[in-house]
Structure 1
Amino acid sequence: MEESNDIARQLLHSLMQFRSHFRPKAYKGLKPSEYKLLFTIKSAKKHHGVDLTVSSLSKYLQVTAPSVTQLINRLETDGLVERRMDTNDRRSVKVMLTEEGEKVTKMVIQAYLERLQGFIDFFGEEKSRQLADSLSEMMEYFAQNDFSSNWDEWR
């Protein structure tokens, strides 16, 4: 049990270190939460063919609707997102990337990919593949066990 605790602590420490070192460099003064919103909008459109509402962004990002609205307001001021009325449901407003938002999101994704490619070159393809597979299994485990709902108890 003691060794298992040591492994858990090492994983926690490594994940926290990774998170702090892997944040994107500030582009146009954007915050990590704003990048995450841009990536979420892009991913929903690319992988599911849908534009998201403030409510759906709020649920996905697990933050309040007013918090998402503040993020959208800032990104809208910067010309990175726009709101459009849903043509099928005039009560619904969709949030979409502008052309500039697409450009910025692509640049940041490319920067991430270049950093990861540097790591793959350093670590080796085989070990990198094993790490990627292990991280995918880890995410599957957490998704199946839905630990996200437990975080509400900590607030």
Structure 2
Amino acid sequence: MEQEHLSPLVKEMRETFERFARAEWRKQTSFGIKSSEIRVLLCIKVLAAENGHGVNISDISRKLDVTSPTVTQMVKHLIHEGYVERAADPRDKRISLLGLTDKGDAAAQKAYERFTTIFSGLIETLGEEQSKTLVSLLNQVYQYLHHLDID
């Protein structure tokens, strides 16, 4: 479809989403690893705190809504870089559980603090009411786009 046939609002929305896709704040690497790998570290930290022990690939896959093979590749790299360690589940030796090393925990903590600072600043800028509205709208956008992926 040619650009001049788009309604102004469709054009503005597309351009806004494109800016978010290119946003540098979400692509920045920390500690020499990708932002997607930082999300895996944060996920392991949160899930391990919730369940009191290590987590498996499927736990991470479900939480982040990405495929297990994708998580497996990221975890392999994180293990190689010394951020994550693998151990046998004491209840079932066939199952591998993942946990953070001290290096991984430090990276996850720093990322958590960075995200907290970014989003706290955003809430301060927008105000509480607009922030709640933004969260609600973004959840609606996610549900709409997720529904499109399913169909």
After TM superposition, is the score higher than 0.5? yes
Given that 1:86 and 1:94 are in contact with CA atoms closer than 8 Å, whether structure 2 keeps it comes out as: yes
Change (3 A) 1:113 1:12: farther
Change (3 A) 1:79 1:121: same
Residue 153 (structure 1) aligns with = none
Q: Distance in 2 between matches of 1:138 and 1:54?
A: 27
Greater shift in the superposed pair: 76-85 or 24-33: 24-33
Q: Distance in 2 between matches of 1:51 and 1:148?
A: 31
Given that 1:85 and 1:92 are in contact with CA atoms closer than 8 Å, whether structure 2 keeps it comes out as: yes
Given that 1:52 and 1:94 are in contact with CA atoms closer than 8 Å, whether structure 2 keeps it comes out as: yes
Q: Which runs of 5+ in 1 are unaligned?
A: 151-155
Residue 30 (structure 1) aligns with = 33
Residue 20 (structure 2) aligns with = 18
Does structure 1 residue 118 correspond to structure 2 residue 121? Answer: yes
Does structure 1 residue 149 correspond to structure 2 residue 150? Answer: yes
3-state secondary structure, aligned to 1:134: helix
Pairs aligned (count): 144
Q: Distance in 1 between matches of 2:19 and 2:103?
A: 31
% of aligned pairs identical? 24
Change (3 A) 1:63 1:79: same
Q: Distance in 2 between matches of 1:8 and 1:89?
A: 53
Q: Distance in 1 between matches of 2:51 and 2:9?
A: 37
Residue 131 (structure 1) aligns with = 134
RMSD: 3.0
Given that 2:55 and 2:97 are in contact with CA atoms closer than 8 Å, whether structure 1 keeps it comes out as: yes
Does structure 1 residue 92 correspond to structure 2 residue 105? Answer: no
Pick from 109, 125, 128 the counterpart of residue 112 of structure 2: 109
Q: Distance in 1 between matches of 2:14 and 2:89?
A: 42
